[in-house]
Amino acid sequence: MVSAIWKDATIATSDETVVVDGNHYFPPKDVDHSRLERSEQTSVCPVKGSAHYFHIRVGGERNLNAAWTYPDPTASAEAIRGYFAFWKGVDVA
């Protein structure tokens, strides 16, 4: 079981993560979407496609652009379509 935790709050937990480039990608069903706020931030990876970012909110604090997903990945990254990954101080273990 892998969890993503920030500020003692569990953002995601799953035994079905997919590891790509050293990051655990969590299925959307295993993510607490109530803690995510859509960001305007995007980026492009030539291998995975366009990433869309989310802020994480716990209590009154926000971790800006600390989660991302590939809603429409390239064919080679299809396994992580819609899955979420975390960084910026989010403990994934």
**Bridge-based pairing state of the strands 84-86 and 91-92:** unpaired
Confidence (pTM): 0.96
Q: How many domains, the chain?
A: 1
H/E segment holding residue 54: strand 49-58
Structural domain of residue 85, as residue ranges? 1-90
Please tell me the distance from the alpha carbon of residue 40 to that of residue 1, in angstroms, as a whole number.
31
Q: What is the domain-level CATH number for residue 56?
A: 2.170.150.40
Per residue in 69-80, pLDDT (tens digit) is: 999 999 999 999
pLDDT digits (tens, 9 = 90+) for 8-59: 999 999 999 999 999 999 999 999 999 999 999 999 999 999 999 999 999 9
Cα–chain center distance at 66:
7
